[in-house]
Amino acid sequence: MSSPEFAPWDDPSAQPLIQFKNVTKRFGSFTAIDDLAVDIYEREFFALLGASGCGKTTMMRMLAGFETPTSGQIMLAGQEIGAVPPNLRSVNMMFQSYALFPHLSVWDNIAFGLRRERMAKDLIKARVEEMLRLTRLEKFSGRKPHQISGGQRQRVALARSLAKAPKLLLLDEPLGALDKKLRQETQFELMDIQEKTGTTFVIVTHDQEEAMTVASRVAVMDEGQIIQIATPDKIYEAPNSVYVADFIGDVNIITGTARPNGAQQYDIHWSEGHAPLCAQSVSTFSDGQSCHLAIRPEEVLISAEKPENADNTMQGKVLDIAYLGNISTYHVELPNGTVVKAQIANTRRISRRAFTWEDPVWLSWAASAGVLLAK
Amino acid sequence: MRRFLLILIPYAWLLALFLVPFAIVFKMALSDIAVARPPYFPQFDWAEGIWVFLAELDFENFVWLTEDDLYWKAYLSSLKIAAISTLLALLVGYPMAYGMARAPEQWRPTLMMLVILPFWTSFLIRVYAWMGILSNEGFLNQFLLWTGVISAPLTILNTNWAVYIGIVYTYLPFMILPIYAALERMDGALIEAAEDLGCSRLSAFWLVTFPLSRPGVIAGSFLVFIPVLGEFVIPSLLGGSDTLMIGKVLWEEFFSNRDWPVASAVAVVLLLLLIVPIVLFQRNQQKQQEADR
């Protein structure tokens, strides 16, 4: 089934489901959220990514209704919800600790929210069974939370928060308590369930890989502000700042001054005794402006001989090799002490590797490989 | 062998200090009152042998307990006072335990200390202090007269009111501590989850907080109910002549009437009555331990 690409954020006529309008939240003198504005659209899987203390949890708790903004407005489907208590908004949350009621069975946990709506018994039964099917928990419906595994508990928490068919589902580090393998499986399950139910998901996580895997858009936060909002590929390939480039994946940052050299071409003077680097950039830099060149390690080629026709070349020696199985990361020290990381896929057996520690090597990359950043 | 020795010690302790005294009291309950020293009959005589001695024992004192209505009224009144005191202690203790569990972390040890602090003073002194507070010229009446709430002093001392006040005051820590323990380890996110799923603050309390604190409530209730049932000091010091409690009856039979056999029978029946709640209490503790595992 092919469908047009899902990108309501590019459609100026689309109505956002959630709007943060200049929201600020202060705890005493500490500003957790600083004049934040963001739109989240229906059916989106929106990830809030950031280090701990960046304000992502506060933002989620404001959406859930556990915190009220100090100033600004939060709109849900066109209605201001800033002061609406959590039990009166069509938003449900999946807690980091899962917060399953230990005295209730799996069935009763899932039915808990439905019973508060005084729904008819047979409707509750039908809905709970639908949720049990969706999360493959039919066999465990009679068990208490302490009688099931961590992964099953995670699915109960998800089923319980989805049971009321909320307009918006919030997930607070939903996979944090699972081991790595289970986490990866569950990520795909989450995406699957999000697609099936058509619910808008907002996920909070500090794990950039998780955010990149599940989300349609990622917001990188720092100190109560959103640094960049974009699709995972744009965030990775076109970060707007050193902070984002550094936070998402591995990156080499080379700081220097820019000298225009033709249309969208710049020479980067970065170190005495080294030839200027050649970089392309769509954003303009003035002559002599300081800049940062961000290059992903997988864009840097490493070879024993000096490569021909490369835009940028430099020589160094291998300082360290991190062998990760499918790939290896080489830390190469340049004569001036700078360490550049280069990553190559291990297509051959490791014993046939062309170079090892202390070997002199050549690094090279294309002018279009890096991203030139002002800050 | 060493394991055997190890469990032998507590069992020997129980045998010497519980089972043997109980057997003596039970034997006494089967004897008859006599003007002698000790004041009961029969005494075991080596010359006559065990069978003659056993033939003299009978259940006449237990029959007597059912014939005179003083005794069953005293038992019933003790049960009533114990039940009401337990309920009052729960009503006072639960909010205190809840407040403690919700207090900022750094305050909790201090609050806990305040609950336990009265134990540092003798129980008797504290009961006597209540006599000073509750008497007609006591601090409470003086204060109420001074504020003008009442125009004549209230008679509280030597009524059941004073007994309830004394019991609830004395046994409150036994109610607070298990409830606090249950509430304190509850995950705060559970309340948020309940609210998130559509509960008001109040319904979140009844649907989540209270059920999760129930083992503590049950434990606390038994810890108050069981000792209050046989309580003697508080009703005899704070209660009046109409305060009927089995502990007081027991004391009067023993020391005023010097009827050791009937007093022993009263004690045996009281013990049998207490076995029921004690077994229930043990089962509650066991169930909770299993749930924790």
Chain B residues in contact with chain A using a Cβ-Cβ cutoff of 8 Å:
187, 189-190, 192-200, 203, 207-208, 211-212, 291
Count CB atoms within 10 A of the CB of residue B110: 10
Q: Which of A345-354, B208-217, B230-239, B272-281 has the lowest mean pLDDT?
A: A345-354
- With CB atoms and an 8 Å threshold, state whether A101 touches B189: no
Calculate mean pLDDT across residues B124-131: 93
CA distance A86 to A159: 18
Q: How far is CA B25 from the centre of its chain?
A: 21
Query: Considering only CB atoms, which chain B residues are within 8 Å of A92?
Result: 196-197
- With CB atoms and an 8 Å threshold, state whether A113 touches B195: no
What pLDDT, on the 0 to 100 scale, is given for residue A201? 94
Say which of B190, B196, B198 has its CB closest to residue A101: B190
- For chain A, the structural domain boundaries read 8-242, 250-373
Nearest CA to CA, how far is A238 from chain B (Å)? Answer: 38
- The 3-state DSSP class for residue A266 equals strand
Q: Whole-prediction pTM value?
A: 0.81
Query: What's the CATH number for B68-292?
Result: 1.10.3720.10
* A352: DSSP letter: G
What pLDDT, on the 0 to 100 scale, is given for residue A2? 42
Closest chain A residue to the Cα of B199, Cα to Cα: A87
Q: What is the secondary structure of A34-100 as a DSSP string?
A: EEEEEEE-TT-EEEEE-STTSSHHHHHHHHHTSS--SEEEEEETTEE-TT--GGGSSEEEE-TT---
Q: Please name the fold of domain A8-242.
A: Rossmann fold (3.40.50)
- The 3-state DSSP class for residue A24 equals strand
∠ Cα B262 B264 B269 (to 5°):
95
Pairing of strands A290-295, A301-303: unpaired
The band of B230, judged by pLDDT with boundaries at 50, 70 and 90, is confident
- With CB atoms and an 8 Å threshold, state whether A92 touches B203: no
What pLDDT, on the 0 to 100 scale, is given for residue A45? 93
Half-sphere exposure for A219 (CA within 13 Å, toward CB): 25
Is 0.90 exceeded by the ipTM?
A: no
- The 3-state DSSP class for residue B220 equals helix
What pLDDT, on the 0 to 100 scale, is given for residue B293? 59
Sign of the dihedral through C-alpha B148, B151, B156, B158: positive
Q: How far is CA B70 from the centre of its chain?
A: 21
Residues 2..41 of A with a Cβ closer than 8 Å to B: which? Answer: none
What pLDDT, on the 0 to 100 scale, is given for residue A3? 53
Torsion angle of alpha carbons A15, A20, A22, A28, nearest 10°? 170
Question: Quick one: tokens of B108?
Answer: 């909790």
Q: B292 pLDDT exceeds 70? A: no
Contact A318, A332 (CB under 8 A): yes
Q: B203 pLDDT exceeds 70? A: yes
B90, B98, B220 from B111: Cα distances, Å: 18, 12, 18
CA distance A144 to A148: 7
Cβ partners under 8 Å of residue B207, min gap 6: A112, B194, B199
Exposure string of B44-80, with b = 16+ CB inside 10 Å and e = fewer, is eeeeeeeeeeeeeeeeebeeebeeeeebeebbebbbe
Count CB atoms within 10 A of the CB of residue B195: 23
Torsion angle of alpha carbons B187, B193, B195, B196, nearest 10°? 150
What pLDDT, on the 0 to 100 scale, is given for residue A1? 38
- The 3-state DSSP class for residue A307 equals coil
Phi, psi of A67 (to 5 degrees): -130, 145
The band of B257, judged by pLDDT with boundaries at 50, 70 and 90, is confident
The answer to whether the A8-242 and A250-373 domains have the same CATH topology is no
Instruction: Point out which residues pair with A278 in neighbouring strands.
Output: A267
More confident residue, B242 or A22: A22
Closest chain A residue to the Cα of B209, Cα to Cα: A101
Cβ partners under 8 Å of residue A354, min gap 6: A303, A304
Q: Please name the fold of domain A250-373.
A: OB fold (Dihydrolipoamide Acetyltransferase, E2P) (2.40.50)
Q: How far is CA B253 from the centre of its chain?
A: 21
Location of structure tokens 């208490």: A144
Query: Considering only CB atoms, which chain B residues are within 8 Å of A171?
Result: none
Contact B111, B282 (CB under 8 A): no
Pairing of strands A200-205, A168-172: parallel
Exposure string of A183-205, with b = 16+ CB inside 10 Å and e = fewer, is beebbebbbebbeebebbbbbbb
Question: Quick one: tokens of A221?
Answer: 């936060």
Q: How far is CA B167 from the centre of its chain?
A: 9
CA distance A36 to A59: 9
CA distance A110 to A132: 8
Residues 81..100 of A with a Cβ closer than 8 Å to B: which? Answer: 85-87, 91-93, 95-97, 99-100
Instruction: Point out which residues pair with A333 in neighbouring strands.
Output: A317, A339
A-interface mutation test, from B183, B197, B207, most A Cβ less than 10 A away: B197
Nearest CA to CA, how far is B206 from chain A (Å)? Answer: 13
Question: Quick one: tokens of B13?
Answer: 């302790």
- Quote the mean pLDDT of chain B: 90
Contact B176, B220 (CB under 8 A): yes
Query: Considering only CB atoms, which chain A residues are within 8 Å of B213?
Result: none
Low-confidence ranges of chain A (pLDDT < 70): 1-4, 350-352
**Cβ neighbourhood burial of A27 (10 Å; 0-12, 13-18, 19+):** exposed
Cβ partners under 8 Å of residue A331, min gap 6: A318, A319, A320, A321, A322, A339, A340, A341
Q: How far is CA A249 from the centre of its chain?
A: 10
What pLDDT, on the 0 to 100 scale, is given for residue A4? 63
Nearest CA to CA, how far is B288 from chain A (Å)? Answer: 12
Calculate mean pLDDT across residues B264-274: 90
Say which of A93, A97, A117 has its CB closest to residue B196: A93
